[in-house]
Amino acid sequence: MARVEFLNGLQPTHDLTYSDVFMVPSHSDVGSRLDVDLTTPDRLGTSIPLVVSNMTAVTGRRMAETTARRGAIAILPQDVPLPAITSTIARVKAADSLYESPITIEPGAPVAQFLSLVGKRAHGVAVVVEAGRPVGIIAERDCVEIDRYAAVGRVMSRDVLTVEAGVDVHHVFDTMALHHLDTVPVVSDGLLVGILTRRGILRSTIYRPAVDAAGKLMVGTAVGINGDASDKANAVLRAGADVLVVDTAHGHQSRMLDALTLVVAARDEHAREHGIRVPIVAGNVVAADGARDLVSAGADIVKVGVGPGAMCTTRMMTGVGRPQFSAVLECAEAAKDLGGAVWADGGVKYPRDVALALAAGAASVMIGSWFAGTYEAPGDLHRDGDGSLYKESFGMASSRAVRNRTRDASAFDRARSALFEEGISSSRMYLAPERPGVEDLIDQIISGVRSSFTYAGAATIGEFHSRAVIGLQSTAGYDEGRPRHTSW
């Protein structure tokens, strides 16, 4: 396996973060960003190399469904009760891979109910339905200076243009442009089946959904190492999970290897019965020995990263961790030698970081807090004193997460667990006005990544890893590359 090339043959003498490195352009025969194939070189094979982290404040049904429609996959957190996980998997699988899921409301519902729902989706409208049929559209602008107890039916727009399911989306786009519409309901035999937006139609021509063998949207589930990992693995496999993530902060330990063995056995039994082999991810580790041990124990993919996350205080609390670029570089080489792959987990703040993680050898890059400040994140939408929108995020080792995880324990055990919290319990994640939806952020990230590939002359992720030429830079060198007069 080709190791990533450093500029002028220089070998680093210390570990590196993404900010410590840059990529040098190489001769390229890749003529367009759209000529790049971002299918991931792991056993999952999603069409873009993004994984939404299994964080309670980040991943739920809306996030999983929306990101899968654009080619990524989201991992449901292990702290969520099992009935809620199986229900969420079922609802993601039931979602259409082209038509977006609408917010629906009945004409007699109060405006206040609509306003509580509208922040759940980026398209900013609700379809008013009676007996499953669309009878109106309501947007926030319709509710200005309207009594919050007024019925939706009094303020909705009744002039609703609908399109029939199966109609060519290019024709739908032209029709919407002609009528100056951003959103149209999609119906089948008069019943609402979804909505289309103009931007969503454009995206459907650029992205390929992440779907299973039956054409259903993909979704993953995290399994912790405590409790009966085998029982939970069996339950989520039966529910239709497309990947299992055996997850703990310190993945290079005996309890992880024991749990991983149980999950692998459950997966293999499921494969024998149903003919579907679900990939298993395990982590987190930051060194070659950890990656090798997890792959040898049955993991198809190793999750790499200790301490780089925005909500994580592990390095400050314990001194444990490793700069992420070097961690990914070393673990990817070790895993690939044994036929495995790695996911880079944490430390990404800009599209460049995602590209550099792929250059270091990652098959996919996990994103957590970056996506917490979007409409699709599970949290409630709030406004601060200046009117800016935000959602709350928190670390998975924080006191808030520990309380959720130990809710069934005794009062004494819960209180004792709270003494060992790590991570931030509450942080405001503001929605960027220009990119408030997760699809907006995916557009930004994937645009940057595709451009990086063209600079390297790489048409695939595998080629990118072998062709990328990496240089080292000072803090001043990093600052020189930052644009002026922007939030970056």
Residues carrying an active site annotation:
312
Q: Is the dihedral of CA 70, 346, 20, 459 positive or negative?
A: negative
Sign of CA dihedral 236, 238, 239, 244: positive
C-alpha closest to that of 439 among 55, 56, 65, 13: 65
13-22 residues labelled b (16+ CB within 10 A) or e (exposed): eebbbbbbbb
Beta bridge partners of 366: 51, 345
Torsion of CA 296, 298, 301, 305, to 10 degrees: -60
**Do the beta carbons of residue 359 and residue 466 sit within 8 Å?**
no
Kindly give the residue spans of alpha helices, DSSP state H, lying in 54-110. Answer: 61-69, 82-94
Longest dimension (CA), the chain: 70
N residues, the chain: 488
E runs forming strands in 91-182: 104-105, 125-130, 133-139, 163-164
d(CA 362, CA 355): 9
CA neighbor of 128 nearest in space, from 99, 98, 158: 158
The three-point CA angle 256-259-264 to 5° equals: 120
Beta partners for residue 134, in sequence order: 129
249 contacts 306 by C-beta, under 8 angstroms: yes
Report helix, strand or coil for 370: helix
Q: How far apart are CA 421 and CA 414, in angstroms?
A: 11
Say if residues 4 and 470 touch (Cβ distance below 8 Å): yes
- H/E element, 186: strand 183-188
Structure tokens at 298: 């049955």
C-beta neighbour count of 228 within 10 angstroms: 12
